[in-house]
Structure formats: C-alpha cells, structure tokens
Amino acid sequence: MSEPDKLYHKMAHPAGVAFSVTNPLIDHWLNCWNNTNPLLDIGCGNCHNSLKALDFGAQVYATELNENSLHLLQQEHKDKADRLSFHLAQLPDSMPLPDNYFSGILCSEVFHFLKHEEILASIQQLHRLLIPGGKAVLTCACEDIQIFQAVNLRQTKETQRQKYPDRMDPVDHYIDYFEQAIREFEPDHEAWQLRTLLDSILPRDMFNYFNPDQLAKAFADAGFHIDLITTGPALHYPAWEHGEHDHVRLVAAKQ
C-alpha cells in the first residue's frame, strides 16, 4: 500500500481524526429503513455509521473510492456480509448501483471534495438511487466554518455568488489557503502535521464550503423536498478552532 493510501486509511478509521464519530443526522437516515429497501452509506470511512445501521436492524450498502481501504473494510467486517456489503464507487460518475433502490442515503463529508458541475450531477445520482419518498441525508463543510473566518472565507464565497448566484464553486489552492489560516493562529504542532497529511491525501488542491440555502435550492431544483437545512458544530473536523456553524446539515426527500 502506498504512503498516501496508508494515510487515507488512517484518516478513515478510528485511529484517524475525521470520521470516528457518529453523523449528527444519523437518526434521520436510520428512520428511512423500511425493512425492504437497503440503506446506502456513501463514503463510509471507518464504517462507524454503517455499523450503527446494522444495530438498528437495517441492510446496508457501503461505498468507498479507495480500493485498498475498501478491501481492508471487507476483511474487517466479513462476518457481517449477509447484511453489510461494500462497493467501489465515487460520486458523481462512478456509481454502479441500481435505480430507485435505496430507502435512505447517508453522504457524510463528501460534497466538499466536488466542483460545481459534479455537485449537481451528484444530486441527480442521489435522486436516481432513491425510491420515491426516500431521503438523502448529507453533511459537509459550511462557508461559516470558524477556522477560516480569519482569512475571509465568507467574503470569498459571497463574492463568488455575486458573480454567479447559482454556482457552488470551491476554494482553489486549498493547501495554501489552509496554511494561511494556520499562520493567523498559533496552533500546536499537530496543525502543521495535518497540513502535511492533507497535502498527501486530498485528491485535488481545492475544497468546497457551502451556503446552506444555496445547497438546499440545488436539491429542490433536482426534485427533492427539503425536510431539514441547518448548520451546526463539527467537532470531528481536524482543526484547532471550532464554531457553531462549521457544518451544513441537510435532509431531502425524493418527490
């Protein structure tokens, strides 16, 4: 396994820093289970949320985009293969899963790795995969995330919207942006270690931060009814300062 793959796997498992907590909207996802149509966990990470769904009695499909991590997850949870299956998939274009099949989809911390066109295409994929009335449960980074206010993230995103009101464009050169934010504070050594880690594992030097109303509109335009749109803290984000609005949280039902 290459060094970036090892780092990715570390981040995606309990020893890592980003995905070792339960999604704050997990009850919305679990309550989609209808005893017939399985739940889907896109970007399952350490499989923590999927295991919660198994405890709830659901059947779960879990996806990851890293083949080595997926293989390790399959080995780790082979005793649950009758109710938990793993699939190599990546939004938006590589989702080899059936139409109108899932009662609920959890998409934790995935959208902020996507560009605008990919976000719209991904929303269409979620719509395709869900049964009528099924729900997409999504969390991603908010433009009001506390650690980047010192480097004017909110103003950057507002400027983008003034030019292109319907676009959800990422922040480019994210590693440099992250380093600038570190320099605005005086964090401990782990922050610089994280900067090195991100440089190794991020698929692109970009990162997206969302305005909740703008994201909700994109889902509504794709044929979803918005059940919930809010922001909240994200203490699982690997950062040195946290705020009350670091996280966008959305629940949307396929109409």
Mean pLDDT by 10 residues, the chain (255 residues): 40 41 95 98 92 97 90 93 96 96 96 96 98 98 92 92 92 85 75 71 82 97 98 85 94 97
Beta bridge partners of 253: 135, 225
* H or E element that contains 174: helix 174-184
Return the pLDDT at 7: 38
Pairing of strands 84-88, 102-108: unpaired
User: 120 near 94, Cβ under 8 Å?
Assistant: no
- Phi then psi dihedrals of residue 61, to 5 deg: -100, 130
Return the pLDDT at 10: 40
Q: What is the CATH number of domain 3-142+210-254?
A: 3.40.50.150
Long-range contacts of 72-80 (CB under 8 A, 24+ apart): 72/9, 73/44, 73/47, 76/47, 77/47, 77/51, 80/54
